[in-house]
Amino acid sequence: MVSGGCVGPEGEVGPEVAAAVAERDEAVAPAPARELVVGYALTSKKAKSFLQPKLRGLARKKGILFVAIDHKRPLSDQGPFDIVLHKLTGKGWQQLLEEYRETHPEVTVLDPPGAIAHLLDRQSMLQEVSELDLTDRYGKVRVPKQLFVNTDPLSIPAAVTRAGLSLPLVAKPLVAKSHELSLAYDPTSLTKLEPPLVLQEFVNHGGVMFKVYIVGDAIRVVRRFSLPNVDEGDLSNNAGVFRFPRVSCAAASADDADLDPCVAELPPRPLLEILARELRRRLGLRLFNIDMIREHGTRDRFYVIDMNYFPGMWSDIRTSLEHIVPILVYY
């Protein structure tokens, strides 16, 4: 049995953050000199999963106060805030936030709306991973071959051939908020798809994926069950489009399952550290997650297939809950 899904000891934070916290602890101990006010603009569902009593308690001890933002009113009329934490889309909110950033440059906005937008569109989402093209002695991290299509569905098979993509392909809606994914095994089924889409080569990975959560300079990784391998038989016997709605949300934890160790072994920590550091820097984001798979039959070839900003499932990533507080103190 393979157990444990945590990279590094529980509760460990990166050296930079730890030093910053220690410094601040020293500076404010025993009681915080002034509260750090964190305004949050989150959906009620998100706020509930994120702002659990434990986090509020931890934050209070560090002198951090969470205050709900009314996303319909100018931010200057609310607050004052030291930090704005947000994950709302919508033009009205974006505009309010941009105005506020311009007039209040001293306030830290976690994270900048432009940087978040990069992850909301599947065409740009994996661009940085692709450009990074990470190869070191611990492994390689790539993006599956993919193609953006926004043409007449009948022309998709030819476009796929021109781009050199091999079937089967995962069809993903351009807007990352939609999880209506499907798998196409043959050229005819490609003509039944509904663009705009990103078509991505399906990579066999033994039915297990890794969700890597990045919170500032802390990393946590958990295993999830994923789609099974596709073999030659599946390719010749399956015609049509197979939909797998919300597979990622339904995916069960595979942390305690009895799995083939070659499939279940977590990606090497040094590799994840380089990947996380580079992506943090290139994307300008501090709260995001990466979905990673290991190419079946290899030990060190990984693919990033999806990324999300300020991911859900905070209850699932205990360590990160504690890590958010140091980030808030640090920035």
Ligand X SMILES: Nc1ncnc2c1ncn2[C@@H]1O[C@H](COP(=O)(O)OP(=O)(O)O)[C@@H](O)[C@H]1O
Q: In this complex, which beta carbon is closest to ligand X, that of residue 108 or of residue 226?
A: 226
Of 128-147, which residues contact ligand X (CB under 6 A)? Answer: 144
Q: Give the nearest distance from C-beta 226 to Mg ion in angstroms.
A: 9
Binding residues for ligand X, rule CB under 6 A, total: 19
Of 211-250, which residues contact Mg ion (CB under 5 A)? Answer: 248
Q: Which stretch binds Mg ion (CB under 5 A): 46-54, 97-105, 138-146, 299-307?
A: 299-307
Among 306, 321, 322, 328, contact with Mg ion (rule: CB under 5 A): 306
Tell me the C-alpha distance between 307 and 289, whole Å.
6
Among 247, 257, 274, 313, contact with ligand X (rule: CB under 6 A): 247
Q: What is the 3-state secondary structure (H, E, C) of 84-136?
A: EEECCCCHHHHHHHHHHHHHCCCCEEECCHHHHHHHHEHHHHCHHHHHHCEEE
226 is in an annotated binding site: yes
Query: Can residue 322 be called a binding residue for ligand X (CB under 6 A)?
Result: no
Torsion of CA 312, 43, 80, 94, to 10 degrees: 100
Tell me the C-alpha distance between 243 and 162, whole Å.
25
Query: Can residue 306 be called a binding residue for ligand X (CB under 6 A)?
Result: yes
Query: Among Mg ion, ligand X, none, what binds residue 290 when CB lies within 5 to 8 Å by partner kind?
Result: none
For the beta carbon of residue 208, count every other beta carbon within 10 angstroms: 22
Q: In this complex, which beta carbon is closest to ligand X, that of residue 209 or of residue 266?
A: 209
Q: Which stretch binds ligand X (CB under 6 A): 110-118, 158-166, 169-177, 186-194?
A: 169-177
Q: Which stretch binds ligand X (CB under 6 A): 42-50, 90-98, 196-204, 270-278?
A: 196-204
Q: Give the nearest distance from C-beta 75 to ligand X in angstroms.
A: 30
Among 179, 192, 282, 318, contact with ligand X (rule: CB under 6 A): 179
Element (H, E) at 161: helix 156-163
What is the end-to-end Cα distance of the chain in Å, rounded?
40
| Site of tokens 């190419």 | 295
46 is in an annotated binding site: yes
Query: Among Mg ion, ligand X, none, what binds residue 144 when CB lies within 5 to 8 Å by partner kind?
Result: ligand X
Tell me the C-alpha distance between 57 and 143, whole Å.
40
- Mapping DSSP to helix (H, G, I), strand (E, B) and coil, where does residue 139 land? strand
CB 160 within 8 A of CB 190: yes
Q: Which residues bind Mg ion (CB under 5 A)?
A: 248, 291, 306
